[in-house]
Structure 1
Amino acid sequence: MRRIISTVLAALLLSALVGVAPAWSTSDPQPPLLSGRVSHGLVAAPGVAVRVSVFPAIPEQGWRPGRRVPLLQLDPTLTRPDGTFVVPRPSSARLRGFVDRWGLVDLTVTIDDGEVVAQHRASTPLSGDPGPATVTVDLADGRLHETLGAPGRHRLTLEDSTTPPRASTTARHPCDVTAGKKHLGRRERFMFVNNWVGAKATVLQLSGTSHTLGTATKLPGKSWSATDSHTRTIATSNQATQSNVVDRWVRNRVNYQDFHYRGLCEYPGEHTDRVPYSVHTLIADLRIRPTLPHLEDPAGCTPRKKNYRYTKDRTRNMTVERGVDLGTVKVSALSGWTNQTAWTVTVTKRSKECWSNEEGPEQSRYVQYFPIRRTEPCGRTARCSGPADERVQ
């Protein structure tokens, strides 16, 4: 039995949610690897099994196909009477090889109450700053709360947990994970620049820019599938810039590799995951719209004169739901606006700057530039002052 639930995307959080009692104390000598809370609606869910596995850091060149990959499977944890749980952090010796050079660990969290099972995979900083990673889930309707992952409403699959996973009798270990085929240079749409020739842009990516990309899963006898609640974060090692960008999607190329799970593996049993492990090419190409989003009803607009410059390097970028084409399935892509991922627009002809958030362009995911027309409105909440021919000289 499968239940598909409309939900807020599950994510590993860096801070506990308002109204949820913390499962750990800041006075503890070391924060746990993971903490959180499970409920059924407004009622706490005690005795629910929480299982966490840690996938190793993948080298930038990936692994040789056929190589056995170590998987750190931690002891199951049961939720307390108030629904909270704490997963202790393994020792540094046990985590050796599982933390990448950016300080991220790749966690898969499985929550099973005996009737339904929910699973989430994401990368999170091991530093625990400002607190340990936290995941909260309501098993009554599948809602999961997030402040770190991609915002918005997504779809989560809750599976019937009464069907045990199938296991191979030829496996050498309880759960064998082996590296498989590499899929190199897959295109990643992660940024779009919506402007015109009178306001050309320069796109920047520096070393250390993070990209949270979707993973794909294939069960025996079934097709490849993907969900926004399964992601892995990689980072760039070099930098690149591209000038004179006009009305284009900006695309990197990224590398993926298959990993085969065989033997007595926990939910979902035997399967194959296709996960990202490194960047192939920065700003590999620019794709012309027609699929480029437009602000048909902007929150506000303002005229801009010649020699105006604006750099977008703050606020979260959008999540592109089908941002990476893996051939058999398309998965999501997300990159944040930072001082390492940005674009700068230089206005050379009178233009109209529009944005998506009524709090202003600094708080907006989308800032776009158009040739100004005297009869065009200035936005749904912001208003331009004076007649059009007085606003732009």
Structure 2
Amino acid sequence: MIKKTSSLLLCFFLFYPLSAFAFTVYEVSGIAIKSGPYYSPSDDKYIVEFDPNIVRKVVYGSYTDATFSTPMTVKVRELGENEYFYGVHYFTCNSYYKAEYFDGSGTLVGTVKFHATELVNPTCNSDTSLGNGGSGGGSGSCAGCDLFNCPGWSQYMGKLDEIKNAIPPTPNWNQVAVIFRDTIVPKLVADLEVMLGTAPSPPAEPPDLPGVDTHGIENKVPSMPDPGLDTSGFTKDRIESEAPVIEFREDDSGGFNIVNPMDTLPPLPNKMPEPGNTDAGDWDAGHPQEPEDAPMPIPKDQDGTPDTGDAPIPSQNNDTPPGPGDNSGNPPIPQDDGMPGSKYYKKHPDDPDGSG
């Protein structure tokens, strides 16, 4: 079982090599064509696979150009008695090829047109693989035909057809564009209009106001009168020649010097201040110290300190406050003279002073 599986895989990879080469294919059509054309670098051949159960006749040849109207060689391979195709067609020249495949009734069931260009050593003995019960038919190109007569070969090829048929076809982009234009875009615009609303209408242009006299201002150009500076004689040379000379004066004050403020700073003490120590020490050397025996200031108009005397002390002179009726410089004391009020007071605001 393992040996049979290995031989089947070997048949598959030898028969179905991957190709990274590029060539031009003009037509592949018909129900009989299974795959190809493709280039096999291991065999240095182009290969077309067709259905051997359908094809009974193959007509192929090389042509001068892509019109396939002028043949250079044409061959016909038709099955005889007890013959059958293996379903493999080799092309071994770098040329333009056209191959046509017919069924038993003579109906065209497959067509291949391509331009072979990658052959390294073209042998130009293109042919199909035939079998007739043991001996190879055709022009001797069936050497090694048993390699392709693998057990269950048609089943494996059928699986490949299933994979190929499962790949969706290329979309018709023209139809997609038409659907997008006629269906998707109008729906999108309508949905946006429902969601966002429409833009307001542009405002109408203001009407012309009839009867407004512009006095032709739209036709006037502003002008700047010439001040006549070019004829005033006010020139640079005249300023330099007629301007009064500024007299130079010497500075008798002696001027002043600008010193570097960093040079006037006092030197820093050697001992740094200590936390908790309230004695400024040498750090207070930069402040002016007032001498302990400094005299008191004396006014300029006095020779010495004025004698201000002793400050008054309450009750020092034993003076008693004035009492009522005392005329010795003390305030008067109101007295009763039998009349309402007092002779020292006005009975009425309009009465003269001192009248009772």
TM-score computed with the length of structure 2 as normaliser: 0.25
Higher helix share: 2
Q: Which has the larger radius of gyration?
A: 2
Higher strand share: 1
